Structure 1
Amino acid sequence: MKNILKKMAVISMIAVSTFGTIGCAKENKSGDNTNSKNKQQVIVGLDNTFVPMGFSDENGELVGFDVDLAKEVFYRLNINVKFQPIDWAMKETELNSGNIDAIWNGYSLSDERKKVVTYTKPYLENKQVIVTMKDSNIKTKKDLKGKKLGIQQGSSALEAIEKQADFVNKLDNKAPILYDTYDNAIRDLEVGRTDAIVSDENLVRYYISKKGDQKYNILQDNFGEESYVVAFKKDNSKLRDKVDMTLNDVKNDRSFDKIYSKWFK
C-alpha cells in the first residue's frame, strides 16, 4: 500500500511540474507575440512613380532614396514602416483622414502646405526646372508663350507657376496640362503632345541619366528653389520630433551620404 501511495505521489509531482513548465512556455510565447503586435507601425504615403525618391522597380518593389532613408530612420526608432502608394493630388487628404501617417516622397515645403501639415526640418534641396526636348526652340521661360506645358497635378511645380498669373495666361489655353504622374507627363513630352514640362530637378536629372542627356534640355530659367521635408498630420508633432532627431543622427554619422551616393551618383 505504501509503495502504491509513493508511486501516486511521484506521478502527481511529475504532472504538476510538467503542467507548470508548459504553462510558463505558453506565457512566455504569449508575451513575445504581444510585444510584436504592440510594436508601432507607421504608414508612409508616396507616389510610386516618382524616381528616384520612391518608385516601383521592374520587379514591382518599392525602392528609392526616400524609401531607403525612411527605412533607416524607422529602423533606428524601432518602428515598423509600411509604404502605401497614393494619389499624389490627394496626399494631404490621405494624411488628415488617417489613411497614412506621413508623406515622405520628395515632398516640397511651400507656404500652402505649411498651413495643413506639420513637417521636419529640410533634408534635401531641389529646384523646379523647365525641361524640353533637345531640338526645341524654347530656350527661356518667355519662349513658353502659347506653348503646351505639362505638370503633375497637386505638385509643388503647379503651386509655383500658379503664383505667376501673367505667365499662366500666356500658355496655350491659358492653363498647363495636368497629369496624374510625371512619368506620363514626360512620355507626352517625348512624343510631342506637350512642348515642355516643369518638374523637380532631382526627378528630371535621374530620369535623364537613365534615358540619355542627348535627348533633353534643362533650361537655365526655373521656377525657384525649395526644400524636401517629411510631412505629418498637424497634431502629430510627437512623431515629427522623433523623425527629425533621427534624421539628424543619420546625417551626422554619414549614413545619409551613403544613401545619397547610391541614388545621386
Structure 2
Amino acid sequence: MKQKIIKLVTLLAVAVMALSLSSCGDKKSVAQEANTADTWAAIKKRKRVIIGLDDTFVPMGFREKNGKLVGYDIDLAKAVFKQYGIKADFQPIDWNMKETELRNRTIDLIWNGYTITPERLKQIAFSRPYMANRQVLVTKKSEGINSFAGMKNKTLGVQTSSSGASLLDEKPAMLKNYIKDKTPVMYDSFNNAFMDLDAGRIQGMLIDSVYSGYYIQHEKDPASYQTTVGGFDGEDFAVGMRKGDKTLKRKIDSALQQLANDGELQKINQKWFGTNDNSLIDPEK
C-alpha cells in the first residue's frame, strides 16, 4: 500500500511538472507571437491605433491645466494616421514599463520623445528618426556649475528608464563618477525633478534637451537656469514598435516623409518650437 502511494505521488509530481513546462512553453510561444506578428491588418480593420506615452513629457505629450492631452508627438501621430483613416488613441503608461506594455499588446506603439538606443534596438523596432535630441545637464545658475565636473559631490536627478539614465551607466566617467555617492536620484517624471531642483534638494538633472528647452522657456525666470551640453553624443527620437510590425513601420515612415514633403511637418514644428527648420524634425535632410 505504501509503495502504491509513493508511486501515485511520483506520477502526480511528474504530471504537474509536465503541465508547468507546457505552460511555460505556451507563454513563451505567446510572447514570441506577439513580437513577430504583423498587426497592420487588425489596426486598419478597427481603424484605431493605441499609442503609449508619458503624459508629463513637454512638449511631446502632456496635460494642459484643463486636463487635455496635447503636444508635438500628439499632433504628429494624428497627422500620420489621418493619412490612413485611422484614429490615434493615446494611453498614458508607466514609462518604466513601456517595452513590457508593447510586448503585452496593451499598446501598439511607443511615441513620446522615444530615443533610439542600442539596448532598445535589441527588443523593438524603430521608425525613421523624426527629431534630433541630446542629453544635457540642467542646474540653477546660483550653483555656479558650468561643466559635468562641476557636479562633484553634488546630487543629480534622472528619470527612471530614460535614455539619460542609460547613458549615465554606459559612460560613468563622463558624469556619474563625479556625483554624490556615484548614484543619481531617480524620478518618475522630469516635472518632479524640476521641482526638487528649484527647491535645492538636487543640484542638477540629466535631461532631454527638447524637454528642458521647452520647460525652461515657459518658467517665470528662465534666466535662473544653466544648461550644460557636456560630451554625450546626439540622439534621435523615433517611434517604437514590435519587431513583427514591418507593415506598420513602412506606413509610418512613408507618412512622415509625406508630411515633410507637403510642409505639414514644418507647420507642427513651428507651432511647438517656433521654427520651421526641417533639420530638427527630419535628420535625413
TM-score for the superposition, normalised by structure 1: 0.84
What is the alpha-carbon distance in structure 1 between the residues aligned to residue 181 and residue 149 of structure 2? Answer: 16
Deviations 1:12-43 (A, max 9, x none): xxxxxxxxxxxxxxxxxxxxxxxxx9432110
Q: How does 1:54-69 map to 2 (within 5 A)?
A: 54-69=61-76
Q: How does 1:25-174 map to 2 (within 5 A)?
A: 38-166=45-173, 167-174=175-182
SS of residue in 1 equivalent to 2:251: helix
What is the alpha-carbon distance in structure 1 between the residues aligned to residue 264 and residue 253 of structure 2? Answer: 15
Aligned residues: 229
Contact 2:135 2:229 (8 Å CA) reproduced: no
2:188 to 180, 193, 200: 180
Contact 2:157 2:205 (8 Å CA) reproduced: yes
Aligned to 2:197: 189
2:233 to 221, 224, 229: 224
Paired-residue identity, %: 41
Aligned to 1:201: 209
Contact 2:156 2:202 (8 Å CA) reproduced: yes
Contact 1:130 1:222 (8 Å CA) reproduced: no
What is the alpha-carbon distance in structure 1 between the residues aligned to residue 267 and residue 215 of structure 2? Answer: 20
Contact 1:128 1:157 (8 Å CA) reproduced: yes
Deviations 1:175-211 (A, max 9, x none): 1110000000111101001010010101001001100
Shift of 1:240: 1.1
Q: CA RMSD in A?
A: 1.3
Shift of 1:173: 2.1
Q: Which amino acid is 2:84 matched to? A: L
Kindly indicate which of the two structures has a greater share of residues assigned to strand: 1
Shift of 1:243: 0.7
Aligned to 1:245: 254
Contact 2:149 2:178 (8 Å CA) reproduced: no
What is the alpha-carbon distance in structure 2 between the residues aligned to residue 202 and residue 72 of structure 1? Answer: 21
What is the alpha-carbon distance in structure 2 between the residues aligned to residue 217 and residue 247 of structure 1? Answer: 34
Question: Structure 1 unaligned runs (5+)?
Answer: 1-36
SS of residue in 1 equivalent to 2:99: helix
Contact 1:104 1:229 (8 Å CA) reproduced: yes
Contact 2:113 2:237 (8 Å CA) reproduced: yes
Contact 1:128 1:222 (8 Å CA) reproduced: no
What is the alpha-carbon distance in structure 2 between the residues aligned to residue 38 and residue 67 of structure 1? Answer: 22
Deviations 1:58-114 (A, max 9, x none): 111110000000000011111121100001111111111101000110001111111
What is the alpha-carbon distance in structure 2 between the residues aligned to residue 39 and residue 263 of structure 1? Answer: 31
Shift of 1:242: 0.5
Contact 2:55 2:92 (8 Å CA) reproduced: yes
What is the alpha-carbon distance in structure 2 between the residues aligned to residue 169 and residue 216 of structure 1? Answer: 23
Q: Which amino acid is 2:135 matched to? A: Q
TM-score for the superposition, normalised by structure 2: 0.78
CA radius of gyration, larger in:
1
Q: Which amino acid is 1:84 matched to? A: Q
Shift of 1:170: 3.3
Contact 1:157 1:223 (8 Å CA) reproduced: no
What is the alpha-carbon distance in structure 1 between the residues aligned to residue 158 and residue 229 of structure 2? Answer: 18
Aligned to 2:222: 213
What is the alpha-carbon distance in structure 1 between the residues aligned to residue 192 and residue 202 of structure 2? Answer: 11
